[in-house]
Structure 1
Protein backbone atom coordinates (compact mmCIF):
# COMPACT_ATOMS: atom_id res chain seq x y z
CA UNK A 1 0.00 0.00 0.00
CA UNK A 2 1.51 3.36 -0.98
CA UNK A 3 1.96 6.16 1.55
CA UNK A 4 -0.61 8.43 -0.15
CA UNK A 5 -3.34 5.78 0.21
CA UNK A 6 -2.36 5.10 3.82
CA UNK A 7 -2.58 8.83 4.55
CA UNK A 8 -6.01 9.04 2.95
CA UNK A 9 -7.28 6.08 5.02
CA UNK A 10 -5.98 7.66 8.26
CA UNK A 11 -7.68 10.92 7.35
CA UNK A 12 -10.99 9.16 6.70
CA UNK A 13 -10.71 7.23 9.98
CA UNK A 14 -10.00 10.48 11.85
CA UNK A 15 -12.97 12.19 10.20
CA UNK A 16 -15.25 9.29 11.19
CA UNK A 17 -14.02 9.40 14.80
CA UNK A 18 -14.66 13.14 14.89
CA UNK A 19 -18.28 12.58 13.83
CA UNK A 20 -18.81 9.82 16.39
CA UNK A 21 -19.42 10.19 20.11
CA UNK A 22 -19.90 7.58 22.81
CA UNK A 23 -22.70 8.07 25.30
CA UNK A 24 -23.00 6.14 28.54
CA UNK A 25 -26.25 6.07 30.48
CA UNK A 26 -27.70 3.97 33.26
CA UNK A 27 -30.72 1.87 32.37
CA UNK A 28 -32.95 3.51 34.99
CA UNK A 29 -31.87 7.00 33.88
CA UNK A 30 -32.62 6.19 30.23
CA UNK A 31 -36.02 4.87 31.22
CA UNK A 32 -36.91 8.18 32.93
CA UNK A 33 -35.66 10.48 30.15
CA UNK A 34 -38.29 12.37 28.14
CA UNK A 35 -39.00 11.62 24.48
CA UNK A 36 -37.30 14.93 23.63
CA UNK A 37 -33.95 13.47 24.73
CA UNK A 38 -34.26 10.62 22.23
CA UNK A 39 -35.55 12.97 19.54
CA UNK A 40 -32.38 15.04 20.03
CA UNK A 41 -30.33 11.82 19.75
CA UNK A 42 -32.09 10.82 16.54
CA UNK A 43 -31.71 14.32 15.07
CA UNK A 44 -27.95 14.13 15.67
CA UNK A 45 -27.78 10.78 13.90
CA UNK A 46 -29.72 12.15 10.92
CA UNK A 47 -27.36 15.14 10.74
CA UNK A 48 -24.38 12.81 10.30
CA UNK A 49 -23.15 12.72 13.90
CA UNK A 50 -23.07 9.07 14.97
CA UNK A 51 -24.00 8.17 18.58
CA UNK A 52 -22.75 4.92 20.11
CA UNK A 53 -24.61 4.09 23.34
CA UNK A 54 -23.31 1.92 26.17
CA UNK A 55 -25.93 1.38 28.90
CA UNK A 56 -26.10 0.06 32.42
CA UNK A 57 -28.99 -1.30 34.44
CA UNK A 58 -28.01 -1.59 38.10
CA UNK A 59 -31.40 -0.97 39.77
CA UNK A 60 -33.20 -3.41 37.44
CA UNK A 61 -30.56 -6.06 38.15
CA UNK A 62 -30.97 -5.54 41.92
CA UNK A 63 -34.75 -5.73 41.59
CA UNK A 64 -34.62 -9.02 39.68
CA UNK A 65 -32.06 -10.50 42.09
CA UNK A 66 -34.38 -9.61 44.99
CA UNK A 67 -37.32 -11.31 43.26
CA UNK A 68 -35.21 -14.46 42.91
CA UNK A 69 -33.96 -14.30 46.51
CA UNK A 70 -30.32 -13.74 45.46
CA UNK A 71 -28.28 -11.42 47.68
CA UNK A 72 -26.94 -8.14 46.25
CA UNK A 73 -23.55 -7.07 47.56
CA UNK A 74 -21.29 -4.21 46.45
CA UNK A 75 -17.53 -3.95 47.00
CA UNK A 76 -15.89 -0.61 46.18
CA UNK A 77 -18.81 0.41 43.98
CA UNK A 78 -18.74 -2.86 41.98
CA UNK A 79 -21.43 -5.56 42.24
CA UNK A 80 -20.21 -8.90 43.61
CA UNK A 81 -20.90 -11.27 40.72
CA UNK A 82 -21.22 -15.05 41.00
CA UNK A 83 -22.33 -17.25 38.08
CA UNK A 84 -25.85 -17.11 39.55
CA UNK A 85 -25.76 -13.30 39.66
CA UNK A 86 -24.21 -13.20 36.18
CA UNK A 87 -27.19 -15.10 34.73
CA UNK A 88 -29.46 -12.30 35.95
CA UNK A 89 -27.03 -9.55 34.87
CA UNK A 90 -26.96 -10.91 31.32
CA UNK A 91 -30.73 -11.46 31.21
CA UNK A 92 -31.45 -7.88 32.32
CA UNK A 93 -28.71 -6.00 30.44
CA UNK A 94 -28.59 -7.91 27.15
CA UNK A 95 -32.29 -8.71 27.23
CA UNK A 96 -34.94 -6.44 28.69
CA UNK A 97 -33.06 -3.13 29.08
CA UNK A 98 -31.20 -3.32 25.78
CA UNK A 99 -34.39 -4.03 23.86
CA UNK A 100 -36.37 -1.35 25.73
CA UNK A 101 -33.85 1.24 24.53
CA UNK A 102 -33.90 -0.10 20.96
CA UNK A 103 -37.72 -0.09 20.88
CA UNK A 104 -37.94 3.45 22.22
CA UNK A 105 -35.52 4.86 19.64
CA UNK A 106 -37.28 3.02 16.82
CA UNK A 107 -40.73 4.10 18.00
CA UNK A 108 -39.58 7.72 17.74
CA UNK A 109 -38.31 7.21 14.20
CA UNK A 110 -34.67 6.29 14.77
CA UNK A 111 -32.70 3.24 13.68
CA UNK A 112 -31.06 1.20 16.45
CA UNK A 113 -29.48 -2.22 16.81
CA UNK A 114 -28.87 -3.89 20.17
CA UNK A 115 -25.60 -5.68 20.90
CA UNK A 116 -24.07 -7.47 23.85
CA UNK A 117 -20.33 -7.37 24.44
CA UNK A 118 -20.47 -11.15 23.98
CA UNK A 119 -21.67 -10.85 20.36
CA UNK A 120 -18.77 -11.45 17.99
CA UNK A 121 -16.37 -11.04 20.95
CA UNK A 122 -17.24 -7.32 20.78
CA UNK A 123 -15.97 -6.68 24.33
CA UNK A 124 -13.22 -9.06 25.40
CA UNK A 125 -12.42 -9.20 29.09
CA UNK A 126 -10.29 -10.67 31.86
CA UNK A 127 -10.90 -10.83 35.63
CA UNK A 128 -10.33 -7.58 37.54
CA UNK A 129 -7.40 -7.48 39.95
CA UNK A 130 -9.82 -7.72 42.90
CA UNK A 131 -11.67 -10.75 41.49
CA UNK A 132 -11.31 -12.61 44.81
CA UNK A 133 -13.51 -9.92 46.41
CA UNK A 134 -15.89 -9.09 43.53
CA UNK A 135 -16.19 -12.38 41.62
CA UNK A 136 -16.83 -12.43 37.88
CA UNK A 137 -16.32 -8.73 37.23
CA UNK A 138 -14.13 -8.01 34.23
CA UNK A 139 -11.65 -5.51 32.88
CA UNK A 140 -11.81 -4.84 29.15
CA UNK A 141 -8.84 -6.18 27.18
CA UNK A 142 -10.12 -5.50 23.65
CA UNK A 143 -13.02 -3.85 21.81
CA UNK A 144 -13.74 -4.89 18.23
CA UNK A 145 -14.30 -1.49 16.67
CA UNK A 146 -14.99 -3.11 13.29
CA UNK A 147 -18.30 -4.50 14.59
CA UNK A 148 -19.45 -1.07 15.81
CA UNK A 149 -18.31 0.59 12.59
CA UNK A 150 -20.12 -2.08 10.57
CA UNK A 151 -23.38 -1.40 12.42
CA UNK A 152 -23.08 2.37 11.98
CA UNK A 153 -22.24 2.00 8.28
CA UNK A 154 -25.61 0.27 7.84
CA UNK A 155 -27.34 3.32 9.34
CA UNK A 156 -28.03 1.90 12.80
CA UNK A 157 -27.24 3.33 16.23
CA UNK A 158 -25.35 0.67 18.26
CA UNK A 159 -26.86 0.05 21.72
CA UNK A 160 -24.29 -1.95 23.70
CA UNK A 161 -24.90 -4.01 26.86
CA UNK A 162 -21.71 -4.25 28.96
CA UNK A 163 -21.32 -8.01 29.31
CA UNK A 164 -17.83 -9.12 28.30
CA UNK A 165 -16.37 -12.48 27.35
CA UNK A 166 -12.94 -14.11 27.47
CA UNK A 167 -11.38 -16.10 24.62
CA UNK A 168 -12.49 -19.33 26.30
CA UNK A 169 -16.10 -18.14 26.60
CA UNK A 170 -16.21 -17.06 30.25
CA UNK A 171 -18.70 -14.19 30.70
CA UNK A 172 -17.89 -11.15 32.82
CA UNK A 173 -19.97 -8.38 34.33
CA UNK A 174 -18.37 -5.15 33.08
CA UNK A 175 -19.07 -1.86 34.83
CA UNK A 176 -20.93 0.21 32.22
CA UNK A 177 -18.70 3.24 32.75
CA UNK A 178 -15.61 1.08 32.25
CA UNK A 179 -17.07 -0.47 29.09
CA UNK A 180 -18.03 2.95 27.68
CA UNK A 181 -14.56 4.30 28.36
CA UNK A 182 -12.96 1.35 26.57
CA UNK A 183 -15.30 1.74 23.57
CA UNK A 184 -14.57 5.48 23.37
CA UNK A 185 -10.82 4.88 23.52
CA UNK A 186 -10.91 2.17 20.84
CA UNK A 187 -13.05 4.26 18.48
CA UNK A 188 -10.76 7.24 19.02
CA UNK A 189 -13.67 9.61 19.50
CA UNK A 190 -13.17 13.24 20.52
CA UNK A 191 -15.71 13.15 23.34
CA UNK A 192 -17.54 10.78 25.65
CA UNK A 193 -20.78 11.93 27.27
CA UNK A 194 -21.99 10.40 30.54
CA UNK A 195 -25.72 11.01 30.97
CA UNK A 196 -26.92 10.85 34.58
CA UNK A 197 -29.63 12.25 36.84
CA UNK A 198 -27.21 14.74 38.42
CA UNK A 199 -25.93 18.00 36.88
CA UNK A 200 -22.25 16.99 37.07
CA UNK A 201 -19.53 16.54 39.69
CA UNK A 202 -20.47 18.51 42.78
CA UNK A 203 -18.12 20.24 45.18
CA UNK A 204 -18.91 22.02 48.42
CA UNK A 205 -18.09 25.72 48.07
CA UNK A 206 -18.99 28.05 50.94
CA UNK A 207 -21.28 25.41 52.44
CA UNK A 208 -23.17 24.93 49.15
CA UNK A 209 -22.99 22.11 46.63
CA UNK A 210 -21.98 23.51 43.24
CA UNK A 211 -21.27 21.92 39.88
CA UNK A 212 -17.62 21.99 38.87
CA UNK A 213 -17.60 23.17 35.23
CA UNK A 214 -14.15 21.65 34.61
CA UNK A 215 -12.12 19.18 36.63
CA UNK A 216 -8.72 17.69 35.90
CA UNK A 217 -7.56 14.12 36.37
CA UNK A 218 -5.43 15.17 39.37
CA UNK A 219 -8.34 17.00 41.00
CA UNK A 220 -10.47 13.86 40.68
CA UNK A 221 -7.83 11.76 42.45
CA UNK A 222 -7.60 14.39 45.19
CA UNK A 223 -11.42 14.37 45.61
CA UNK A 224 -11.44 10.57 45.89
CA UNK A 225 -8.74 10.73 48.58
CA UNK A 226 -10.68 13.34 50.57
CA UNK A 227 -13.95 11.39 50.22
CA UNK A 228 -15.69 14.12 48.21
CA UNK A 229 -16.12 11.58 45.40
CA UNK A 230 -17.25 8.23 46.82
CA UNK A 231 -19.19 4.98 46.23
CA UNK A 232 -20.57 4.38 42.75
CA UNK A 233 -19.19 7.71 41.51
CA UNK A 234 -15.61 6.41 41.86
CA UNK A 235 -15.74 3.86 38.98
CA UNK A 236 -17.66 6.45 36.92
CA UNK A 237 -14.96 9.09 37.14
CA UNK A 238 -12.09 6.56 37.01
CA UNK A 239 -13.53 5.17 33.76
CA UNK A 240 -13.73 8.72 32.43
CA UNK A 241 -10.08 9.28 33.35
CA UNK A 242 -9.06 5.96 31.76
CA UNK A 243 -10.50 6.91 28.37
CA UNK A 244 -8.84 10.33 28.22
CA UNK A 245 -5.90 9.43 26.02
CA UNK A 246 -5.22 9.26 22.30
CA UNK A 247 -7.89 11.21 20.43
CA UNK A 248 -10.33 11.30 23.37
CA UNK A 249 -9.92 14.82 24.70
CA UNK A 250 -12.67 15.07 27.30
CA UNK A 251 -15.51 13.35 29.09
CA UNK A 252 -18.61 15.38 29.94
CA UNK A 253 -20.99 14.40 32.76
CA UNK A 254 -24.47 15.91 32.27
CA UNK A 255 -28.06 15.69 33.48
CA UNK A 256 -30.12 14.01 30.75
CA UNK A 257 -33.27 15.95 31.66
CA UNK A 258 -31.69 19.22 30.45
CA UNK A 259 -33.38 20.25 27.15
CA UNK A 260 -31.34 19.27 24.05
CA UNK A 261 -28.42 18.40 26.31
CA UNK A 262 -26.56 16.27 23.74
CA UNK A 263 -26.73 18.89 20.99
CA UNK A 264 -25.62 21.56 23.44
CA UNK A 265 -22.61 19.55 24.62
CA UNK A 266 -21.57 18.73 21.06
CA UNK A 267 -21.89 22.38 20.02
CA UNK A 268 -19.42 23.33 22.77
CA UNK A 269 -21.80 24.85 25.31
CA UNK A 270 -20.50 24.86 28.88
CA UNK A 271 -22.91 22.46 30.59
CA UNK A 272 -22.31 19.77 33.21
CA UNK A 273 -18.74 18.85 34.22
CA UNK A 274 -15.92 18.47 31.71
CA UNK A 275 -13.18 16.06 32.78
CA UNK A 276 -9.89 16.95 31.09
CA UNK A 277 -6.22 15.97 31.34
CA UNK A 278 -5.19 19.42 32.56
CA UNK A 279 -6.46 22.97 32.72
CA UNK A 280 -7.12 24.59 29.34
CA UNK A 281 -7.80 28.13 28.21
CA UNK A 282 -11.54 27.32 28.21
CA UNK A 283 -11.49 26.41 31.90
Structure 2
Protein backbone atom coordinates (compact mmCIF):
# COMPACT_ATOMS: atom_id res chain seq x y z
CA UNK A 1 0.00 0.00 0.00
CA UNK A 2 2.71 2.46 -0.97
CA UNK A 3 0.43 4.86 -2.85
CA UNK A 4 -2.09 6.88 -0.88
CA UNK A 5 -4.83 6.10 -3.39
CA UNK A 6 -4.30 2.36 -3.05
CA UNK A 7 -4.07 2.63 0.71
CA UNK A 8 -7.40 4.47 0.79
CA UNK A 9 -8.94 1.79 -1.44
CA UNK A 10 -7.81 -1.03 0.85
CA UNK A 11 -9.04 0.79 3.94
CA UNK A 12 -12.42 1.43 2.28
CA UNK A 13 -12.72 -2.27 1.42
CA UNK A 14 -11.92 -3.29 5.01
CA UNK A 15 -14.52 -0.89 6.36
CA UNK A 16 -17.13 -2.09 3.84
CA UNK A 17 -16.53 -5.74 4.71
CA UNK A 18 -16.80 -4.89 8.39
CA UNK A 19 -20.07 -3.03 7.79
CA UNK A 20 -21.63 -6.05 6.06
CA UNK A 21 -20.86 -8.27 9.02
CA UNK A 22 -17.38 -9.74 8.55
CA UNK A 23 -15.17 -9.75 11.63
CA UNK A 24 -11.76 -8.53 10.50
CA UNK A 25 -8.43 -8.60 12.31
CA UNK A 26 -5.83 -6.52 10.48
CA UNK A 27 -2.18 -7.52 11.03
CA UNK A 28 0.50 -5.36 9.44
CA UNK A 29 4.22 -5.00 8.94
CA UNK A 30 5.86 -1.90 7.52
CA UNK A 31 8.78 -2.92 5.34
CA UNK A 32 9.01 0.18 3.11
CA UNK A 33 8.69 2.58 6.06
CA UNK A 34 11.33 0.67 8.04
CA UNK A 35 13.68 0.80 5.06
CA UNK A 36 13.15 4.57 4.75
CA UNK A 37 14.12 5.14 8.39
CA UNK A 38 17.11 2.82 8.16
CA UNK A 39 18.25 4.77 5.09
CA UNK A 40 18.07 8.04 7.02
CA UNK A 41 20.42 6.50 9.59
CA UNK A 42 22.73 5.02 6.94
CA UNK A 43 21.87 1.47 8.03
CA UNK A 44 21.76 -1.02 5.16
CA UNK A 45 18.70 -3.34 5.26
CA UNK A 46 19.64 -7.02 5.07
CA UNK A 47 17.38 -10.01 4.43
CA UNK A 48 17.80 -13.76 4.78
CA UNK A 49 15.22 -16.02 3.09
CA UNK A 50 12.73 -13.17 3.02
CA UNK A 51 13.19 -12.24 6.71
CA UNK A 52 14.73 -8.96 7.87
CA UNK A 53 18.02 -9.35 9.71
CA UNK A 54 17.37 -7.39 12.92
CA UNK A 55 20.18 -6.26 15.19
CA UNK A 56 19.54 -4.13 18.30
CA UNK A 57 19.59 -0.83 16.39
CA UNK A 58 17.26 -2.16 13.71
CA UNK A 59 14.91 -3.52 16.39
CA UNK A 60 14.55 -0.03 17.84
CA UNK A 61 13.60 1.31 14.41
CA UNK A 62 11.19 -1.58 13.78
CA UNK A 63 9.36 -0.92 17.08
CA UNK A 64 9.23 2.84 16.52
CA UNK A 65 7.92 2.55 12.95
CA UNK A 66 5.46 -0.32 13.35
CA UNK A 67 3.94 0.61 16.70
CA UNK A 68 4.46 4.36 16.75
CA UNK A 69 3.78 5.34 13.16
CA UNK A 70 2.27 2.72 10.84
CA UNK A 71 -0.18 1.34 13.41
CA UNK A 72 -1.48 4.75 14.48
CA UNK A 73 -1.81 5.86 10.87
CA UNK A 74 -3.84 2.79 9.89
CA UNK A 75 -6.09 3.16 12.94
CA UNK A 76 -6.72 6.81 12.08
CA UNK A 77 -7.52 5.97 8.44
CA UNK A 78 -10.00 3.23 9.40
CA UNK A 79 -11.70 5.46 11.95
CA UNK A 80 -11.90 8.28 9.40
CA UNK A 81 -13.49 5.87 6.90
CA UNK A 82 -16.32 5.11 9.29
CA UNK A 83 -15.39 2.00 11.27
CA UNK A 84 -13.85 1.73 14.75
CA UNK A 85 -10.28 0.49 14.88
CA UNK A 86 -8.15 -0.27 17.94
CA UNK A 87 -4.36 -0.24 17.64
CA UNK A 88 -2.35 -2.98 19.32
CA UNK A 89 0.95 -4.80 19.01
CA UNK A 90 1.73 -8.41 19.80
CA UNK A 91 3.15 -7.23 23.13
CA UNK A 92 -0.20 -5.84 24.34
CA UNK A 93 -2.07 -8.22 26.63
CA UNK A 94 0.55 -10.89 25.88
CA UNK A 95 -1.25 -11.33 22.59
CA UNK A 96 1.89 -12.87 21.06
CA UNK A 97 4.74 -14.35 23.06
CA UNK A 98 7.97 -14.61 21.09
CA UNK A 99 10.97 -16.90 21.19
CA UNK A 100 14.25 -16.51 19.27
CA UNK A 101 14.34 -17.86 15.75
CA UNK A 102 16.38 -21.05 15.28
CA UNK A 103 18.50 -18.89 12.94
CA UNK A 104 18.98 -16.15 15.55
CA UNK A 105 22.75 -16.16 15.02
CA UNK A 106 22.11 -14.91 11.47
CA UNK A 107 18.79 -13.08 11.96
CA UNK A 108 19.30 -11.37 15.33
CA UNK A 109 16.11 -10.26 17.09
CA UNK A 110 13.76 -12.01 14.67
CA UNK A 111 11.33 -14.11 16.64
CA UNK A 112 9.12 -17.09 16.18
CA UNK A 113 5.77 -17.19 17.97
CA UNK A 114 5.84 -19.37 21.07
CA UNK A 115 2.20 -18.81 22.03
CA UNK A 116 -0.89 -16.77 21.22
CA UNK A 117 -3.44 -15.49 23.73
CA UNK A 118 -6.29 -13.84 21.80
CA UNK A 119 -8.31 -12.96 24.93
CA UNK A 120 -7.69 -9.22 24.45
CA UNK A 121 -9.14 -9.43 20.92
CA UNK A 122 -12.42 -11.20 21.58
CA UNK A 123 -14.36 -8.32 23.20
CA UNK A 124 -13.14 -6.00 20.43
CA UNK A 125 -14.30 -8.40 17.72
CA UNK A 126 -17.61 -9.05 19.50
CA UNK A 127 -18.26 -5.29 19.53
CA UNK A 128 -17.50 -4.96 15.78
CA UNK A 129 -14.23 -3.15 16.34
CA UNK A 130 -11.30 -3.82 14.00
CA UNK A 131 -8.09 -4.74 15.83
CA UNK A 132 -5.04 -3.38 13.99
CA UNK A 133 -1.99 -5.32 15.15
CA UNK A 134 1.67 -4.42 14.66
CA UNK A 135 3.87 -7.49 14.22
CA UNK A 136 6.13 -6.96 17.22
CA UNK A 137 6.21 -9.34 20.20
CA UNK A 138 8.26 -9.92 23.35
CA UNK A 139 9.64 -13.02 25.01
CA UNK A 140 9.01 -13.94 28.66
CA UNK A 141 11.84 -11.64 29.79
CA UNK A 142 10.37 -8.65 27.93
CA UNK A 143 12.91 -8.61 25.08
CA UNK A 144 11.12 -7.34 21.94
CA UNK A 145 11.35 -9.25 18.67
CA UNK A 146 10.56 -8.47 15.08
CA UNK A 147 7.91 -10.94 13.91
CA UNK A 148 7.18 -11.59 10.26
CA UNK A 149 3.72 -10.06 9.73
CA UNK A 150 2.49 -12.98 7.63
CA UNK A 151 3.55 -15.42 10.34
CA UNK A 152 1.81 -13.35 13.01
CA UNK A 153 -1.37 -13.20 10.93
CA UNK A 154 -1.36 -16.95 10.37
CA UNK A 155 -0.91 -17.79 14.05
CA UNK A 156 -3.61 -15.30 15.08
CA UNK A 157 -5.99 -16.69 12.47
CA UNK A 158 -5.49 -20.18 13.88
CA UNK A 159 -5.89 -19.07 17.50
CA UNK A 160 -9.11 -17.20 16.67
CA UNK A 161 -10.56 -20.04 14.60
CA UNK A 162 -10.77 -17.75 11.59
CA UNK A 163 -12.69 -18.77 8.51
CA UNK A 164 -10.08 -17.28 6.18
CA UNK A 165 -6.54 -15.90 6.20
CA UNK A 166 -5.69 -13.34 3.50
CA UNK A 167 -2.14 -12.13 2.87
CA UNK A 168 -2.12 -8.85 0.98
CA UNK A 169 1.15 -8.46 -0.91
CA UNK A 170 2.76 -6.77 -3.90
CA UNK A 171 2.81 -9.73 -6.31
CA UNK A 172 0.05 -11.40 -8.28
CA UNK A 173 0.15 -14.53 -6.12
CA UNK A 174 1.90 -17.85 -6.70
CA UNK A 175 3.19 -18.15 -10.25
CA UNK A 176 3.84 -21.43 -12.05
CA UNK A 177 6.65 -19.58 -13.81
CA UNK A 178 8.14 -16.73 -11.75
CA UNK A 179 9.12 -14.89 -14.94
CA UNK A 180 5.60 -15.02 -16.39
CA UNK A 181 2.97 -12.91 -14.57
CA UNK A 182 0.27 -14.65 -16.62
CA UNK A 183 1.10 -18.04 -15.08
CA UNK A 184 -0.89 -17.31 -11.90
CA UNK A 185 -1.94 -20.38 -9.94
CA UNK A 186 -5.49 -19.54 -8.83
CA UNK A 187 -6.06 -22.51 -6.52
CA UNK A 188 -3.76 -25.14 -5.05
CA UNK A 189 -3.61 -27.50 -2.07
CA UNK A 190 -0.92 -28.05 0.56
CA UNK A 191 0.65 -30.94 -1.31
CA UNK A 192 0.87 -28.82 -4.44
CA UNK A 193 2.61 -25.84 -2.82
CA UNK A 194 5.10 -28.07 -1.04
CA UNK A 195 6.02 -29.61 -4.40
CA UNK A 196 6.44 -26.13 -5.92
CA UNK A 197 8.84 -25.21 -3.09
CA UNK A 198 10.78 -28.45 -3.59
CA UNK A 199 10.96 -27.74 -7.33
CA UNK A 200 12.27 -24.22 -6.72
CA UNK A 201 9.18 -22.55 -8.21
CA UNK A 202 8.46 -20.78 -4.91
CA UNK A 203 11.44 -18.95 -3.43
CA UNK A 204 12.57 -15.84 -1.54
CA UNK A 205 9.97 -13.78 0.29
CA UNK A 206 7.13 -15.98 -0.95
CA UNK A 207 8.35 -18.94 1.14
CA UNK A 208 7.38 -17.45 4.56
CA UNK A 209 3.98 -16.51 3.12
CA UNK A 210 3.28 -20.00 1.82
CA UNK A 211 4.60 -21.64 4.99
CA UNK A 212 2.35 -19.53 7.22
CA UNK A 213 -0.65 -20.43 5.03
CA UNK A 214 0.17 -24.13 5.31
CA UNK A 215 0.63 -23.88 9.07
CA UNK A 216 -2.65 -22.01 9.59
CA UNK A 217 -4.52 -24.56 7.46
CA UNK A 218 -3.05 -27.37 9.56
CA UNK A 219 -4.41 -25.60 12.67
CA UNK A 220 -7.97 -25.36 11.38
CA UNK A 221 -8.23 -22.22 9.24
CA UNK A 222 -10.46 -23.28 6.33
CA UNK A 223 -8.87 -21.41 3.43
CA UNK A 224 -5.94 -19.06 2.89
CA UNK A 225 -5.17 -16.67 0.04
CA UNK A 226 -2.17 -14.69 -1.16
CA UNK A 227 -3.58 -11.78 -3.14
CA UNK A 228 -2.33 -8.84 -5.18
CA UNK A 229 -2.68 -5.70 -3.08
CA UNK A 230 -1.74 -3.54 -6.09
CA UNK A 231 -5.04 -4.51 -7.71
CA UNK A 232 -7.79 -2.09 -6.76
CA UNK A 233 -10.47 -3.71 -4.56
CA UNK A 234 -8.54 -6.99 -4.44
CA UNK A 235 -10.01 -7.79 -1.03
CA UNK A 236 -13.56 -7.47 -2.35
CA UNK A 237 -12.69 -9.52 -5.42
CA UNK A 238 -11.17 -12.27 -3.30
CA UNK A 239 -14.02 -12.51 -0.81
CA UNK A 240 -17.06 -11.69 -2.95
CA UNK A 241 -16.29 -13.25 -6.35
CA UNK A 242 -15.51 -16.74 -7.62
CA UNK A 243 -12.47 -15.62 -9.59
CA UNK A 244 -10.64 -14.01 -6.67
CA UNK A 245 -7.57 -11.81 -6.86
CA UNK A 246 -4.61 -14.12 -6.34
CA UNK A 247 -3.87 -17.66 -5.18
CA UNK A 248 -6.11 -19.60 -2.79
CA UNK A 249 -4.45 -22.40 -0.83
CA UNK A 250 -6.77 -24.96 0.70
CA UNK A 251 -6.10 -27.94 2.95
TM score, norm. by length of structure 2: 0.91
**In structure 2, C-alpha distance between the alignment counterparts of 1:29 and 1:219, rounded to whole Å:** 32
**In structure 1, C-alpha distance between the alignment counterparts of 2:24 and 2:116, rounded to whole Å:** 17
In structure 2, the partner of 1:273 is 247
Q: Number of paired residues?
A: 250
Counterpart of 1:62 in 2: which secondary structure?
A: helix
Counterpart of 1:192 in 2: which secondary structure?
A: strand
Could you say which structure has the larger radius of gyration?
A: 1
Give the superposed CA RMSD: 2.1
In structure 1, the partner of 2:72 is 99
Runs of 4+ deviating beyond 6 Å: 205-208
Change (3 A) 1:87 1:31: farther
Aligned match of 1:239 in 206, 209, 212? Answer: 212
Aligned partners of 1:203 and 1:210 also within 8 Å:
yes
Aligned partners of 1:29 and 1:197 also within 8 Å:
no
1:243 is displaced (CA, Å) by: 0.7
1:32 is displaced (CA, Å) by: 5.5
In structure 2, the partner of 1:141 is 114
Gaps of 5+ in 1: 1-27, 278-283
Change (3 A) 1:32 1:169: farther
- CA offsets 1:176-218 (integer angstroms, 9 cap, x no match): 1110010001001111011123222111299774110112222
- CA offsets 1:101-130 (integer angstroms, 9 cap, x no match): 111111111211110111121111101111
**In structure 2, C-alpha distance between the alignment counterparts of 1:43 and 1:234, rounded to whole Å:** 31
Matched, 1:82 2:55: yes
1:29 is displaced (CA, Å) by: 4.9
Matched, 1:114 2:83: no
In structure 1, the partner of 2:167 is 194
TM score, norm. by length of structure 1: 0.82
Following superposition of structure 1 onto structure 2, how do residues 146-165 of structure 1 map, counting pairs within 5 Å? 146-165=119-138
- CA offsets 1:232-277 (integer angstroms, 9 cap, x no match): 1111111111111243111111223445433343335231211122
Gaps of 5+ in 2: none
**In structure 2, C-alpha distance between the alignment counterparts of 1:146 and 1:247, rounded to whole Å:** 18
Change (3 A) 1:100 1:127: same
Aligned match of 2:45 in 72, 81, 89? Answer: 72
